[in-house]
Each structure stands twice: as structure tokens, then as C-alpha cells.
Chains A and B, each alone.
Chain A
Amino acid sequence: MIKIENLHVSVGGKEILKGINLEIGDGEVHAIMGPNGSGKSTLSNVIAGRDGYEVTQGSITYKGKDLLEMRPEERAWEGIFLAFQYPVEIPGVNNTYLLKAGVNARRKHQGEQELDAMEFMQLVKEKAKLVELDQSFLSRGVNEGFSGGEKKRNEIFQMAVLEPSLALLDETDSGLDIDALRIVAKGVNTLRAANRSIVMVTHYQRLLDYIKPDVVHVLADGQILKSGDASLALELEERGYDWVRAEAHV
């Protein structure tokens, strides 16, 4: 699905990512954990195409194409989806219509017929049910006045509607109550598929109880210092990150 090689990224002249190597196969679920400020969101943002990041070295290949050459909307059309750590409020722009525009832009790009209003509403209703999002959220402004947890749930709802190939969930579990976490996890699990890869950035092993990752990575000091299976998350929960650093820097 995606292959990141020796990725170096600077923000405002300061190097944040210092040689990331990461490969995610089709249908795989990877978790990325790591201390605050280690560069997890930076990595997600660079993949999604946010500007303000300078890639000084390295490459990202997505479905065989040079991802860094693509504009953010092209990446969306090609199936990349970022669930934001801090979803943005856009008053006045309708939550559902934004998705309709997004879905149809992508279909157009892929040479498919655009969905008409009826087909789209059906899709939206079905997906809203999946993440148990109340219908009233559909007609509101994008994230406008949503609570922290509602925003996160709305991100997963958007993911469900947009049906991406590569979903990056940046701390989608932060700020969710226990029930919401279960619902969101159920939504994500339903979306697991052989042609869809998922990257979950998280601080908590708890999420991984619900969504079992194939691989867990530790991102610290701008590098992936260690990778392992789901049991690595348990070990991190118990021991913190210092031992990983110590091990990596010997």
C-alpha cells in the first residue's frame, strides 16, 4: 500500500522526522505509539499533504506512485484519509454536503458515475448507523459546536462514507468515553478489509484491545525505534518509552 523510505521532515527549519522507514501492506493495521512531540502527527500530516512541512530527504510511494508529488485533494481521491487529531470546525458548511462533494470528486476522478442525492443519502444513513451517529449531526455545520468526542466520532463517520484505501487515525481514541470507544472501534473493525490499510496513532493500549494491530511501532526522537506485534503495546504500557530509547541508542 505505502512505503516510506528514509523520510526526513523539517518544520520551520527544525528537523522533526529523522529518517523514517515504514512499509504497510494491503489490509494491514499498524499502530504507532510514542511520546508527545515525537512526530506522529507530523508523519500523518505529511502523508495527507498538509503544507508547512519540508521534506528534506527520502520518499513516500503510495500504490506505486510518488505520493509527495500529489496535491492533498489528489491524495484524497486516491484513497488517503486522515482522521484529524484536532478536527476543524467549519461553521456554515454542511457536514453531509461536504461528504457528498468529497465522494463525488473521488468518483469523478476514478471515472465512476457520481452518486445522486438519493443514493448518497442512503449511503450516509447506513454509515451513520454504523458509528451510531445521531441523524441530527448530518445537517449541522462541519464539527460546529460538536463536543470533543462527537468530533472524533464524526471523523470515523466520514471515513466510513469515504471508504479510503489508507486511513490514518491520529489519536481518534483520545477524548472518547468508554461506550464511544467501543462504537468507534466497532466501526473501524467493520471497515477492515483486504484492500484497506489502517494506521492508528494512539497513546493507549486500550484501543488495541478492541482493534488488534498487525504491527506496533514506536516513534520517538523522529525515528521508528522499534517495531513488534501487539504484545509490544502491552510492554510499552507497563514500561514506558525510555527502555526503547536506551535499546535503540546503544
Chain B
Amino acid sequence: MSNALNHIRESAWRTFEVDGLPSSRDEDWKYTDLSRIAAVLGESWWSAEAGEAVSADDYLIPDLNAYRLVISNGVVDLAASEIPDAITITPLAALLQDDPDAAVELMLDDSDAPFASGVTALNSARASDGYCICVASNVKLDRPLHILHLSSGGAAHIRTGITIGNHAELEIIEHFAGSDSAAGVTNSLTAIRLAAGAKCEHYRLQLESGKQWHLGRVEVNQKADSSYTLHAVELGSALSRVDVVDDLNEPGAESELNGLFVLSGRQHVDHHTRVAHEAPHCRSRENYRTVLDGRSHAVFNGKVVVAKGAIKTDSAQSNANLLLSNRAEIDTKPELEIYNDDVKCAHGATVGQLDKNQLFYLKSRGLSEEEAKQLLTFAFADELLAKMKSRAVRRYIERAAFAKLPNLSGLEGILV
């Protein structure tokens, strides 16, 4: 391992040792308590052992015609992958040999970055593996890339660096899943750089086992006229915290962040997003929806920051939440920080229950109370899924979410 990389890791580890995990005293972690992680996973939870590895074949998305990169318990598994020729995918070990500077850049720990914490420091310090994806200018991959993160418990600290060149296009499906044979933690950090005119459609599907804690971070850096779309879906895991940091650094950049949580039992999911308009004429859209049953708890904190020079900013954000149980809980906080007058910004959050008129209408047509409730719930969630261009992914998520709402099994196909 290169000295520079060793240095990064050691210094990140010192940061972690000094700062520890974020606590509820930290404003950004007010609602999400990681302190129990040691009680659940053991004292040295960051290096917890995985159970027996699972097979990628059991976690494929039906009808998805895609290239595949498999990350098994935090380590790139090229043998199980199908890598396209048109782009390069380089695991950390190969990077260290061929391009040590790139390896260092990939693994850097920036403790000044928004939402940086002991979690991100650990990702550098204890990285189980990392890899870079590089899409050269003007390349448009003919199929999406399915990045399948499989866990069978244990700790996986995985680092992903994606560079998309001028006017290149990439569709990725980051998919987190696995077995519940052992408890574990996933700590995933994905940094995406979009050059001028580049496009990225990013599905981030969190369907981990109920014994897996999920910690994620997505960093996006956008140049002129680039376009980034995120579909963040939260269905699995006992506790999930994901931070999204999107910087619109040059004029004409566009971003769309869509988030859907469907939670039950005692699931806890917290997303903090920060969209920074640093340049004029950029556009951002953010739509988060949550469906909360049982004693689940969701946190949405969406911040939009518009810099002084970012005139003609066009930004809209909305967060709608549906509580199916009076023991479920949502904490939502849209935040706007605007440093110039020439902008168009809108944001809003709603918390609601199902519409009584719609419920009665469905029942009067012969649906049972439970079916009617779940159908309306699902229709609410599905409006977000409708934004997905990939039919295969959409159907897959619909099924998985349907499965969490037990009375809908006979109603497949009822959604528009």
C-alpha cells in the first residue's frame, strides 16, 4: 500500500478515535442514535465479521438487462461481475499499482465536507475496498450498470468513485441487499463527478436485511449543463442514515433528487440532503415521500443553499409523508439558505392521513377497508416511482414495497 494512502487511513482513524461517532448533541444527528451500534454489533463493530457470503444470483432484478458489478461484503468481486468494455472499472488494489494518485484521491477523508463525521472518517480508515468507474467523454453505455452490494452481516466500508466525462452518460443502480445470517453494518460512500454536459441516472436501492445497519453518503459534483437524477429508495435495514451532498458548481447544471421510504415495524431511516447552488442558471428539484407504518420513524432534512452569485436559480423541494399508524413518527425539516434575490425557490412539507372520500369511493366499488387503505398508500408512493425511467427497477421496487403491505397481493397491476 502506498505511503500516502497509509497516511490518509491513519489520520482518518485518529479523527475517528478523537471524534467518535456523531451523537444526538450534533444538530445533524438529533434524531438518529448510533450509540447502540456497539451494543448490537460488538465493541469493535467497525470490523465485525460477516457470515457466509451470499450469491448474486439470488438478488438480481428481473427483466433488468444490465452490466453487473458485484461487491461482496465490501470487496469487489470481479469474478461474479459482468463488466462492460466501454468504461473502466478499477478496484483499489489495481489503482494502487497503476495510478496511486487516483487511489489517494478516491480514499481521501475530508473532515470539513458537509455532514462529514466519524462515519465518513471510518470509511477511509477501515475501507474494505474501493473502486473507480470512469466513463470517457462522449461515451454512452448501452445498458445500465447494476452495482450489487451484497452483505451477509459484518462490516463493509466501501468507497466508490465515479467520473463521467464531457457529454458522457451513465445509468447506475446501486443496490444494497443481503442475508440476515449475521448482524452487520454497511458504510458506503459514493462520489460522482459529472463533467460538462454529462448525465447520470442514479438508482440507490436500500433493501438490506433487518439485521444490517446502513450508513451511506452520496457526493455529487456537477459541471456546466450536467444533469444528475437520484432515486433513493429505502425499504430495508433496521436503521439507515444517508447523506446526499450535491454541488451545482457551474451554470446550467440540473439535479433531481427523489426519495421514497416505505417503513414498518421499528425501522428508522434518516436522510439529510444538501443541494448547493454555486453558479447561476442551475435548476434543482427534490421530492421525498415517506409511508410509515408500525412504530417506524423517518427523518428528512433537506437543505438548499443558494450562493451569492447563483442568480436565476430555480429550485423546488417537497416532502410528503403518510402516517399509517399513530405510533409512527416523522421529523421533517426543509431548509432554505439564500444569499441573493434573483431566485425562484419553493419548498414545503406535508404530513397526512389517507383521504376519507377516496377511501369511501374504493370501498363503494367493493374493495375492503384494508385493501382500500393500502391501495391509496401505494398509489401515493407510486407517484414517486413513476419518475423512474427503468421499468424493471420500478416493477422490482413496487413488488418489494407491495410485499411490505400484506393485503395488496391480489391487486398487482392496479397501479397506473
Q: Hey, which bits of chain A sit against chain B, CB under 8 A?
A: 48-52, 71-73, 75-77, 81-82, 84, 87-88, 90-94, 97-103, 105-106, 139-142, 144, 158, 162
Complex partner residue of A101 from B355, B364, B367, CB under 8 angstroms:
B367
Are A139's CB and B366's CB within 8 A?
no
CA of A30 to CA of B382, assembled, Å: 42
Q: Which chain B residues border A158 with CB–CB below 8 Å? A: 365
CA of A142 to CA of B355, assembled, Å: 14
Q: Which chain A residues border B363 with CB–CB below 8 Å? A: 49, 71-73, 76
Complex partner residue of B366 from A77, A84, A92, CB under 8 angstroms:
A77
Give min CB distance, B325 to chain A, whole Å: 20
- B354-410 contacts to A, CB under 8 A, are 355-358, 360-369, 371-372, 375-376, 378-380, 382-383, 386, 410
Query: Main SS of the interface on chain A?
Result: mixed
Kindly name the residue among B364, B372, B410, B411 whose own CB sees the greatest number of chain A CB atoms within 10 A.
Answer: B364
Are B416's CB and A92's CB within 8 A?
yes
Are A106's CB and B382's CB within 8 A?
no
Are A92's CB and B380's CB within 8 A?
yes
Are B366's CB and A102's CB within 8 A?
yes
The chain B residue with its CB closest to the CB of A99 is B365
CA of A72 to CA of B386, assembled, Å: 31
Are B367's CB and A82's CB within 8 A?
no
Are A94's CB and B366's CB within 8 A?
no
CA of A90 to CA of B378, assembled, Å: 11
CA of A106 to CA of B366, assembled, Å: 7
Query: Main SS of the interface on chain B?
Result: helix
Are A101's CB and B415's CB within 8 A?
no
Q: Which chain B residues border A106 with CB–CB below 8 Å? A: 366
Are A72's CB and B364's CB within 8 A?
yes
Are A162's CB and B375's CB within 8 A?
no
Give min CB distance, B4 to chain A, whole Å: 52
The chain A residue with its CB closest to the CB of B383 is A92
Q: Which chain A residues border B382 with CB–CB below 8 Å? A: 92
Q: Which chain A residues border B369 with CB–CB below 8 Å? A: 71, 73
Q: Which chain A residues border B368 with CB–CB below 8 Å? A: 73, 105
Are B414's CB and A97's CB within 8 A?
yes
Give min CB distance, B69 to chain A, whole Å: 33
The chain A residue with its CB closest to the CB of B368 is A73
24 contacts between A and B (CB under 8 A): A49-B363, A50-B360, A51-B360, A71-B369, A72-B360, A73-B364, A73-B369, A81-B364, A87-B361, A88-B360, A90-B361, A90-B379, A92-B378, A92-B380, A92-B416, A93-B415, A98-B362, A98-B365, A98-B367, A99-B365, A100-B414, A105-B368, A106-B366, A158-B365
- B319-369 contacts to A, CB under 8 A, are 355-358, 360-369
The chain B residue with its CB closest to the CB of A109 is B366
Q: Hey, which bits of chain B sit against chain A, CB under 8 A?
A: 355-358, 360-369, 371-372, 375-376, 378-380, 382-383, 386, 410-411, 413-416
Are A76's CB and B365's CB within 8 A?
yes
CA of A84 to CA of B361, assembled, Å: 8
Q: Which chain A residues border B366 with CB–CB below 8 Å? A: 73, 76-77, 101-103, 105-106, 162
CA of A72 to CA of B364, assembled, Å: 6
Q: Which chain A residues border B383 with CB–CB below 8 Å? A: 91-92
CA of A84 to CA of B416, assembled, Å: 22
Q: Which chain B residues border A139 with CB–CB below 8 Å? A: 416
Give min CB distance, B387 to chain A, whole Å: 12
Are B413's CB and A76's CB within 8 A?
no
Are B413's CB and A92's CB within 8 A?
no
CA of A148 to CA of B415, assembled, Å: 23
CA of A198 to CA of B416, assembled, Å: 32
CA of A144 to CA of B378, assembled, Å: 16
Are A97's CB and B361's CB within 8 A?
no
CA of A50 to CA of B356, assembled, Å: 10
CA of A65 to CA of B232, assembled, Å: 51
Give min CB distance, A189 to chain B, whole Å: 23
Give min CB distance, B177 to chain A, whole Å: 26
The chain B residue with its CB closest to the CB of A50 is B360
Give min CB distance, A215 to chain B, whole Å: 24
Q: Which chain B residues border A94 with CB–CB below 8 Å? A: 413-416
CA of A61 to CA of B366, assembled, Å: 20
Are A101's CB and B371's CB within 8 A?
yes
The chain A residue with its CB closest to the CB of B413 is A97
Give min CB distance, B369 to chain A, whole Å: 7
Closest 5 A-B residue pairs measured CB to CB? Answer: A92-B379, A102-B366, A97-B414, A76-B366, A102-B365
Q: Which chain B residues border A144 with CB–CB below 8 Å? A: 416
Q: Which chain A residues border B355 with CB–CB below 8 Å? A: 88
Q: Which chain A residues border B367 with CB–CB below 8 Å? A: 73, 98, 101-102, 105
Complex partner residue of B414 from A52, A81, A91, A98, CB under 8 angstroms:
A98
Q: Which chain B residues border A75 with CB–CB below 8 Å? A: 364
Give min CB distance, B49 to chain A, whole Å: 44
Q: Which chain A residues border B360 with CB–CB below 8 Å? A: 50-51, 72, 88
Are A49's CB and B413's CB within 8 A?
no
CA of A105 to CA of B407, assembled, Å: 13
Q: Which chain B residues border A162 with CB–CB below 8 Å? A: 365-366
CA of A93 to CA of B416, assembled, Å: 6
Are B379's CB and A93's CB within 8 A?
yes
